Amino acid sequence: MSKTDNHDMNFVYKITGFSQRTIDNLINMFAKESNNVRLDGCKLIYKVLIQNKDHINKEKYPEIFYSAIIVGLNKLKISKAKAVTMDRGSNSEQGKRITEERMNQIDEKYTIPRTAKKREVIEQNYHEIYQMRKQKFSFRKIAKYFAKYHHIKISYSYIQKVFKQLSNCKMNL
């Protein structure tokens, strides 16, 4: 972002009525949805923009567009909340579609492998750990080092286990 890009976030907060935390939650919710739900969200965003096209001026266009995105995502969240409270036993098409989307989301969550964050931190800092081990640091001291300087709590035994696995892999190459 250059020095000329001064976006007025207070303007966005004023238009939407949401705090930064709420905006972040809406964007995270949107990112976790299936493609069909995302497309529905884009339709809502487009409707909000069309409804408010008279208020768009060139100076505040990025802020207004961002606000429309946030308001559209909030409408999506509200419509999903209404769908959840809808009678689940009904045979309506919308109820079937929502159930099918939820089942697809569950399948997607199980197919995407989770990465071990602590293992990644150890892998990224392998050479740092290696240097500390050369200087006769214990794994307990290394764990304290990670807690203090990397702000992540990892047990010394896990560091030792992963470090030995990585050391064996590096030697076998």
CB 101 within 8 A of CB 36: yes
Rounded Cα gap, residues 163 and 118, in angstroms: 12
Domain count, the chain: 2
Rounded Cα gap, residues 73 and 67, in angstroms: 10
Q: Domain range spanning residue 36? A: 9-111
Distances in whole angstroms, Cα of residue 124 to Cα of each of 127, 163, 165, 166: 8, 11, 14, 11
Looking at per-residue pLDDT, the higher value among 93 and 120 belongs to: 120
pLDDT tens digit sequence for 109-158: 555 555 578 888 888 888 889 999 999 999 999 999 999 988 889 999 99
42 and 88 within one domain: yes
Instruction: Name the burial class of residue 76, with classes exposed (0-12), middle (13-18) and buried (19+) by CB atoms within 10 angstroms of its CB.
Output: buried
Domain-located, residue 2: no
97 and 59 within one domain: yes
64 and 133 within one domain: no
AA identity, residue 146: F
91 and 61 within one domain: yes
147 and 103 within one domain: no
Domain-located, residue 30: yes
pTM score over 0.75 = no
73 and 127 within one domain: no
85 and 140 within one domain: no
